[in-house]
Amino acid sequence: MQKRTLGKSGLEVSALGLGCMGMSFGYGPAADKKEMISLVRSAVERGVTFFDTAEVYGPFTNEELVGEALSPFRGQVVIATKFGFDTRVDPTATEGGPVLNSRPEHIREVAEASLKRLRSDVIDLFYQHRVDPDVPIEEVAGVVKDLIQEGKVRHFGLSEAGVQTIRRAHAVQPVTVLQSEYSLWWRRPEEEMLPTLEELGIGLVPYSPLGRGFLTGKIDEKTTFDSTDFRNIVPRFTPEARKANQALVDLLRKIAERKKATPAQIALAWLLAQKPWIVPIPGTTKLHRLDENLGAVAVKLTSDDLREIDSASSNITVQGARYPEKLDQMTGR
């Protein structure tokens, strides 16, 4: 497995990481824990060294799974987790979903609890999951800086933060990584985000690099999701939007046939080709999908391929918002 360094930080990880959220949360019922532990360990055997979780996934159960799965390999892998939501508040009991909480004392509580669940004495990468407008980002960065000095955290990350927030945080404690949605069906980070990250020497970890499964070509307007699947409330996944957005999958399929690859592999290879400091974290619960995703690292897109993808995709307008309104308001702050 090829390695990449995330920005100027010296944090070296496998060129593709593994997003673990969907094993416990978000896309229907949680998968079997033993099977998922086996899957995570299979990823390690295949050279994956970068694993992504968060306390809110479950909540708590995903961190526990990742901690148990990776405990035999702790020194060989990088585990990223996140703070920033108040898991004591039932999201179904509040209007509009989850409650943000990045107060300094809460960040410390989350760090201690996450360390226990992850069976570790240090968090390799600690992200603020979403920017909390009630807590100045300088305070947040200051607490993480203290945790780094105490040896409990190695690197500071932000997720779905806006450019100004990143600059303000970076001035207090260097930000190693921004995690943000980025893929062929969400390209807004190219406008301001990528130039800013390049300037500051910050790596980018795209989540949902396969468009929540859509870019694999396995979903169409007739697909039905489990009642607990997050995609049921995502505007981009209405049957009408899915039908309209097939044009993007058709483009990937065309390139894939030429490259003897799959649409998912082309989507991931396209991301890897954008910048050397980009490390996507596709998630899966299936071993054959893990192998398919990892195969993307070997797919080489030429400058002509990339120009063709850019030209054709610029004529496709993706339909539907990527989040329900309340959740969308938490991004890009």
Helices (H), ranges, 118-213: 137-149, 163-172, 193-200
Pair 129, 135: CB distance under 8 Å: no
Pair 158, 179: CB distance under 8 Å: yes
Pair 317, 149: CB distance under 8 Å: no
Structure tokens at 288: 């054959």
Structure tokens at 326: 């309340």
Return the ∠ at Cα 84 (arms to 79 and 86), rounded to 5°.
120
Active site residues: 57
* Burial of residue 201 (number of CB atoms within 10 Å: 0-12, 13-18, 19+): middle
| Residues 6+ away with beta carbon under 8 Å from 6 | 12, 13, 176, 177, 202, 203, 205, 277, 279
Amino acid at 123: I
